[in-house]
Structure 1
């Protein structure tokens, strides 16, 4: 079962959208065969979907249904602050686990209203989701494994290089995001440098991998730099418009 947002991926037989499954359950069609239904949680499904499905099953009667593995409501989304996002629907990670200070893994979690999928019409999930998931796990690893040992500054990620290789398509099914720090320069607390290897994996396939170099820089330093560069950009634009 996948969110309606991923209707292009749903084939109406083995993969159903939330709406398609609700129609089958509510109409009683799903119970006609007398078989047990085993549901696998795809991307974009949330607790209200599963609650509504259970209510429809109870009302229709005659349908045996169970989940294959934990339902989505059991996952633990990463807090938005841990990936430097403002809105929970834009967080792409859940069940983050720090295997060591330099190695972490997380489940991919694509909310149906994520900003990067709202205008994507293909069967696969947008490649921008893959890249953003790898970016987010870099930040999450910093916030969960390094942040507590540093002064109470606010930090922001500055991306210096990202070498991405795509190995296949990502579909609206469970996937894993992995990050391993290959090198870290922590000599300057206001500008921490990292070189990492990241990947997104779906079952036995490496959907994409990336070598990323980035810095976690003190927020006030970036604010000052952005303010100065923004002012310069405005002055340059206005000067060009005022030329005779």
Structure 2
């Protein structure tokens, strides 16, 4: 691989507004560019980072396209693995509406999770501008964190550690 590596971020088509930044593509635009030979330069290497809104199916499409159009010799795929919180814990029937992943306990009363937004999330249907994450998405992710965190506490005695103190 060449020394000069360009990082390219691929986001779901619904997040098209993010593509005003350099080296950010929607899935459709990236696949089209790869098919046109934009990622085959022997003097250039690319690191493809999978961003918000890209489904497993689309990730496989990207990987297949890179191989089929001889881009895989200069492209490295990087997509953070995210393990969704089980949908019954966050009270969601459709897994595309689960907003948190990789929930883990990092201290006696501290937790962390990754925000994961599916391209077909119910909160994006008529509100997605692509320029930012809406406040209602953050509020819903926070709401989903509460039952998820409480399930990580083995008994109610430990749950008191999450309550504010006077």
> Which category of TM-score, normalised to the shorter sequence, fits these structures?
0.7 to 0.9
Number of residue-to-residue matches in the alignment: 153
Which residue of 2 is the match for residue 67 of structure 1? 77
Cα deviation, 1:67-99, whole Å, max 9, x if unaligned, reads 34xx14x22111101212211111111111112
Which residue of 1 is the match for residue 3 of structure 2? none
Match of 2:114 among 107, 119, 122: 107
Q: Report if aligned partners of 2:14, 2:128 keep a CA contact under 8 Å in 1.
A: no
Distance in 2 (alpha carbons) for counterparts of 1:96 and 1:61: 37
Larger radius of gyration: 1
Match of 2:28 among 4, 19, 24: 19
Determine whether 1:47 maps to 2:56: yes
Q: Which has the higher strand share?
A: 1
Question: What displacement does 1:184 show?
Answer: 3.1
> What secondary structure, in the 3-state scheme, does the structure 1 residue paired with 2:124 have?
coil
> Under a length normalisation based on structure 1, what TM-score does the superposition of the two structures give?
0.56
> Under a length normalisation based on structure 2, what TM-score does the superposition of the two structures give?
0.80
Q: What's the RMSD between the two structures over aligned residues? A: 2.5
Determine whether 1:96 maps to 2:106: no
Larger relative contact order (CA 8 Å, sep ≥ 6) = 2
Cα deviation, 1:114-164, whole Å, max 9, x if unaligned, reads 11111124211111001111111111111221xx536xxxxxxxxxxxxxx
Runs of 4+ in 1 over 6 A off after TM superposition: none
Which residue of 1 is the match for residue 93 of structure 2? 86
Which residue of 2 is the match for residue 144 of structure 1? 152
Runs of 5+ unmatched residues, structure 2: 1-9
Q: Report if aligned partners of 1:117, 1:125 keep a CA contact under 8 Å in 2.
A: no
Pair 195,105 (structure 1): closer, same or farther in 2 beyond 3 Å = same
